[in-house]
Amino acid sequence: MKRLSRLAAVVCGAAGLVVCAAATAADTMSITLPQDKVQFKPGPGAQVAQTQCVICHTAEYVYMQPPLTRAQWEGEVNKMRKVFGAPLPEDQVKTVVDYLMTQNGKS
């Protein structure tokens, strides 16, 4: 295993990853991914959100907001489109906003 760990050290060194240093020492590597909030929960419109809203960030951005009104979610979605360049087609805005209201909306 000595050779393998030296190889890992070289590979990791090239990648410059801190995580690798610890993994090399232990000769194993385990990565824990966040379980929740990365993906949108199932529901009508979830597919559109999952396709259009995790291009740049995780679904967590939606779930970590305080509950927003419909107008506020519309504002958010349009900001994503107009300011940040999200490729969401105009005719899917309502679908996504409806979905966001079921996930984190208030009236």
Residues forming contacts to ligand HEC in the complex (CB under 6 A) are 52-53, 55-57, 61-62, 65, 76-77, 79-80, 84-86, 88, 96, 100
* Between 5 and 92, CB nearer to ligand HEC: 92
* Residue placing its CB nearer to ligand HEC in the complex, 20 or 41: 41
Shortest CB 19 distance to ligand HEC, Å: 23
CA distances from 13 to 19, 23, 28, 87 (A): 11, 12, 16, 37
Say whether 99 sits in a helix, a strand or coil. helix
Minimum distance of ligand HEC from residue 106's CB (angstroms): 14
Backbone torsions φ then ψ of 35, nearest 5 degrees:
-80, -45
CA distance 60 to 11: 32
